[in-house]
Amino acid sequence: MLRESLILGLLATLASSPDTAEIGRIKSSIGPATIERGADSMPAPVGQQLIAGDWLVTGANGRMGLTFVDNTRFSVGPDSRIALKTFEYDPTTQKGSFVAKVERGSIAIVSGRINKSGGRSGMQIETPDATLEPHGTRFIVVVK
C-alpha cells in the first residue's frame, strides 16, 4: 500500500514536470514514421503524445501530421529528421518559445499562438544553412 502510494506520487510528479508535459499529438501517420525519445525509437500512431526533445523521423513514403497545444500544425514529408528542440508554452498568457530543427526532409508549418505572442517571433526553425523566424504564417521548408 505504502509502495503503491509512493509510485502513484512519483507518477503524479512525472506527469506535472515540464519535461514530460504533452506539447502536441500525432493526427495522422502514414508509412514508416517514428518518434525518437532519448535512446528509444517508437512508432508514431495517431493520438500519440509528444514531449519537448522528441525527434520526428520518417522513412521513404513516410508522413506525419501533428497539432501542438498552442495550435501550431506540422505536416512532415518523407525521409525527414526533425527535432522539437524547445517547446515552452503558458496557456494563460499564450506566450512561449518553440524551436524546431529540420535536419533533413520537408515540412509544412502553420504557426500557432507562440508565434503570435507579442513583437518577438517566439518561434525558430533551424535548418543546416539558415534559421527561419516566422511571423504568424503558413510556409514550407525543404532541406536537401
Partner 1 sequence: MRRRCLALGAALALVGCAHSSMVLLPDEDGGHGEVTIVKRGTETVVDQPNSRANLNGSRTTVRPLGPKGLGAREAMLVSGLPPPPKSYSLYFLEGTTEMTATSAPRLEEIRTEIASRPGAAVEVTGHTDTVGSEADNDRLSRQRADEILMLLVSRGFDRSIMSASGRGERDLQVPTADNVSSPVNRRVEVIVR
Q: Which residues bind partner 1 (CB under 8 A)?
A: 22, 25-28, 46-48, 63, 65-67, 69, 71, 73-77, 91-94, 106-108, 110-111, 121, 127-144
Q: What letter does residue 78 receive in the DSSP assignment?
A: S
Using the minimum distance from each CB to partner 1, give the nearer residue, 6 or 11: 11
Closest distance of CB 4 from partner 1, Å: 21
Using the minimum distance from each CB to partner 1, give the nearer residue, 83 or 134: 134
Grid cell 511571423 in the structure block, residue: 135
Closest distance of CB 1 from partner 1, Å: 25
Strands 123-126 and 95-110: parallel
Closest distance of CB 40 from partner 1, Å: 20
Residues with Cβ within 8 Å of 73's Cβ and at least 6 positions away in sequence, in order, are 65, 66, 67, 109, 110, 112
Phi, psi of 43 (to 5 degrees): -65, 160
Using the minimum distance from each CB to partner 1, give the nearer residue, 51 or 132: 132
Closest distance of CB 41 from partner 1, Å: 20
For residue 49, which amino acid is it? Answer: Q
**Alpha-carbon gap, residue 96 to 24, rounded angstroms:** 14
